[in-house]
Structure 1
Amino acid sequence: MEEIMSKLIAERAEARGRAEECRALASVSSKVVQPVKQKVEVKTFAVAVKSDKVEKVEEIMKKVDEMSRDLKTVSVRTVRKIKDGVVIEAATQEDAKNIRTNIKGKNLKIAEAMKINPKIIVFDVPKEVTDAELLEDLYNKNGMSRVTVKDFNNWVKVDGRKKMRHDLDNVLLSLNEEIAEYWIGKGYVYIGWRSCKVKEVDIVKRCFKCCSVHHRADQCKERGYVCRKCGESSHDARICRNRMKCKSCLEKTGKELAHATDSGDCPEYKRKLEYLKNREMFDV
């Protein structure tokens, strides 16, 4: 009897061992067979369209809509309105080419693409420093020795000033990417006998109620301002003690990721920023 029991126990142990081995092999096999998901970079090919005549954007949209019926094989990601025209974002370069070809003869024309320069804010500039003196100090005191004065004046422009205190202004500059990157990396510039902090102007627009990057304030479901850290409306972010919860990520993915909605590390913010930087802009 004991021999029979021992034999049964041994057989069961052997069976369990084989089962575990099969599960392990299946697990390894599934890992091998499953393809690795790679992040695919989506590139769009934009065509900006405006009218030969003075027409409202709605009229141009109607013509574009009529054109879409003739181009049934063309893939378009989106059509968006701009100042006095529309931008058609095609899926491929060939699609964009077909759109450009079809526009001819419809009293429409292609607008030229342009590069939108970055903007930075120079903080606490003495009020008595004129725009000309500011540009002169920026050139002479801030690492521009390899740039000619002519090029510098073409690349760096004063877009405006905002009075902060009775003797200091914040100055908005428009400039090319290389100079902007250099000064932003330093974090400051020398103006007169002082150093002034610089900061890049954020091109990602946020809802001023909840800080989400996916809608405007007039589309926000919140009745009032909410905490940018946890998304609750009962308190201000400065006194928040709750767990962080990003409304942008929640709105887009349905997941409660543990970072503030206004964080520069937010995946949705980074995605929107990258899209805006790479999107073709148009002088229309």
Structure 2
Amino acid sequence: MANTDTAFSKALRTSIARSGLSLDRLQARLRANGIPVSITALSYWQSGKRQPERQSSLSAVRVLEDVLGLRPGELLSLLPPPRPRGTNRPRTEPVNFPVEALRTLLERVGAPHALEQQHKLKLASLHDRCEIAADGGQRSTTARAVFQATADGQDRWLLVYDHGGTDTGPPRLHALRNCRAGRVEVDTEHGLTAAELLFDRTLERGETQLIEYTLTNGGPPYPPCSNTYYREFRRPVREYLLEISFDTAPERCWQYTRTDPEKGEERRDLHLDTTGGVHAVALDFGPGVFGIGWT
């Protein structure tokens, strides 16, 4: 396989050289933390021949950051999206939308290279609260997100939202805290919306920003949601809290995760609280899909 240097491989190679640790000693440190990684894999990572993609490999990178004296997320933030494997698109592939339609939409919103660019904002925490109406449709979703800048000059976040079908109109975007809506573009053919959320200030490297926004659907009847709500994370998130509130209590609820197409879906039953809702929490999760389903 040809050597293809990347920002990640360069940073890893430089950090290893600066530490004075051999690959054998790095492997021993990883093993001591319960993470077995071959010397060949470490060599490939620092040369650019391969990149960490699986959950176990991303956990190894987190430990490497600590061993090499780097800031949490300093190496992870340099990783490009995982490459698709095989001919079937798993749900954990980096883009869960029609790629060409998404590229066109991103061009219209002023971000034509968003899929290829390295993200300069790290998602540290995300809290979604989804309201399900009595007819079973999705009335609204309110999101509270905390970002940390990995480079100077960060002033916006790009939101891409799936309406749930081509027959469903776009939701109304309301910026609630520390941000405002910028350019908003809608693809009615594929049921997609792309929007800029402009921060109330420009972030420098290491600074954090908390924003809050709501997506509200028209109704009733409200857009159907197939008895599920999920987020697909292309990169690790430190904390994700998902709440679902119901006007009419469902018979059964469960949380589910998909991190490896070969392992399938993992489920755990949830119980309604006294307000008629459920919640689920994911810590140090991703890449993968995390959601709640109900009957």
Using the size of structure 1 for normalisation, the TM-score is 0.29
The structure whose residues are more often strand, as a share, is 2
Considering Cα pairs closer than 8 Å and 6+ residues apart, tell me whether 1 or 2 has the greater RCO: 2
Using the size of structure 2 for normalisation, the TM-score is 0.28
Structure with bigger gyration radius: 1
